[in-house]
Structure 1
């Protein structure tokens, strides 16, 4: 029998968000775009989240959010790394309503999980192209804190 994969802390994303843009109803639910305007990456890789990219969300009838982000960071030594992070955020209706109002909600009171892939053409960081990462997040009033773990 094969041992299950281990999770190793990889980095923390401190993502700053711009004002939410409502797109209206889509095929599967309410659509919205949330600009990614900056932030920091700390951990095994370090650097600044760039002011580009967005979270293209679908909000389902039960209040669950389908997370679909694409953005980029610049490492402290000048390499560019793309971040694609997809997942789901859901919880009891009262918790999701509090999050929507920008209130502080304990991350233990809702489910916010993602899978992430990184990509870089910089020779110093090509190793990130081969990682599978999983994340656990917390939504704040103006940003997201996402802890990524490498699947070993």
Structure 2
């Protein structure tokens, strides 16, 4: 197994709004970040449909488990569902800066997700059987994911 590391096959730039926090669940505090739009570019392009969310578990040390679920629409009107599961970790001071919404150099923290896709569009059916690994960067107002295909 290898990862096509020469270039991402997709770049996802998700716009987010203010989070809400349902509270502590024993394994950590829960936070939900609504996904309100954005863009997808690369082998498939489209606009992220508002209404998705990134559900996170924040551990006592500040590290996160991430579960995001959203969809995008291509210019042809095809819908692609995105299911992303991953982690974001780093030194406490860096995680605190990210939590405060600051722009932080992505080389200072670890942000990776596995990504699956679902679509009923015949021309995009190959996405249903593709696994991606994304390298993420938290930006003020959003997230950028460079998605690489697992070969």
The answer to whether 1:11 aligns with 2:10 is yes
Q: Counterparts of 2:75 and 2:148 in 1: how far apart (Å)?
A: 21
User: Which has the higher mean CA deviation after the structures are superposed, 66-75 or 4-13?
Assistant: 4-13
- TM-score normalised to structure 2 length: 0.96
Q: Counterparts of 1:104 and 1:141 in 2: how far apart (Å)?
A: 6
What's the offset of the Cα at 1:141?
1.5
Tell me, what secondary structure is at the counterpart of 1:97?
Answer: helix
What's the offset of the Cα at 1:74?
0.2
Written as runs of structure 1 = structure 2, the 5 A alignment for 1:3-152 is: 4-8=1-5, 9-152=8-151
What's the offset of the Cα at 1:86?
0.5
Structure 1 alignment gaps of length 5 or more: none
- TM-score normalised to structure 1 length: 0.95
Tell me, what secondary structure is at the counterpart of 1:45?
Answer: coil
Structure 1 residue ranges (4+ consecutive) displaced by more than 2 angstroms after TM superposition: none
Q: Counterparts of 1:79 and 1:59 in 2: how far apart (Å)?
A: 34
What's the offset of the Cα at 1:5?
1.4
Tell me, what secondary structure is at the counterpart of 1:102?
Answer: coil
Tell me, what secondary structure is at the counterpart of 1:126?
Answer: helix
Q: Counterparts of 1:119 and 1:45 in 2: how far apart (Å)?
A: 13
What's the offset of the Cα at 1:52?
1.2
Structure 2 alignment gaps of length 5 or more: none
Q: Counterparts of 1:10 and 1:27 in 2: how far apart (Å)?
A: 37
What's the offset of the Cα at 1:18?
1.1
